[in-house]
Amino acid sequence: DAAVTQKPRYLIKMKGQEAEMKCIPEKGHTAVFWYQQKQSKELKFLIYFQNQQPLDQIDMVKERFSAVCPSSSLCSLGIRTCEAEDSALYLCSSSQFNSAETLYFGSGTRLTVL
């Protein structure tokens, strides 16, 4: 079983609605990463937190997403206004210190935007 917990497992939203997904990193891990994976299988980096602070994110996240880690044991990724192109598997991962350490992934939240 994945040491990183993600909820919900499935999420269905209508276009224009808000979506939120949560991630519980592995205990003791200070680095949290979010990825988007579509059918094309590419792992698209979204945002990286270190000690709950966002250190790196892509423009799409800045523009349409909201991501926070209010505590070391909880992070969330939100989409303010869902679009069809946001349909994907959203994977949360954590590592002990940074990306040079092994990443442990959650099972993901599969978002479908209708």
Q: Which is nearer to another protein, 84 or 100 (CB)?
A: 100
Instruction: Write the binding mask 68 to 97 for another protein: x where contact by CB under 8 A, - elsewhere.
Output: -----------------------x-x----
d(CA 24, CA 73): 5
Cβ(96)–Cβ(18) below 8 Å: no
User: 69: closest CA among 50, 90, 43?
Assistant: 50
* Count of alpha carbons within 13 angstroms of residue 23, beta-carbon side: 32
Is position 100 an interface residue for another protein (rule: CB under 8 A)? yes
User: Tokens 């579509």 identify what position?
Assistant: 38
Q: Which of 14, 28, 39, 42 binds another protein (CB under 8 A)?
A: 42
Q: Which is nearer to another protein, 64 or 104 (CB)?
A: 104
Q: Give the interface with another protein as residue ranges (CB under 8 A).
A: 2, 4, 33, 41-43, 45, 48, 50, 55-56, 91, 93, 98-100, 102-108
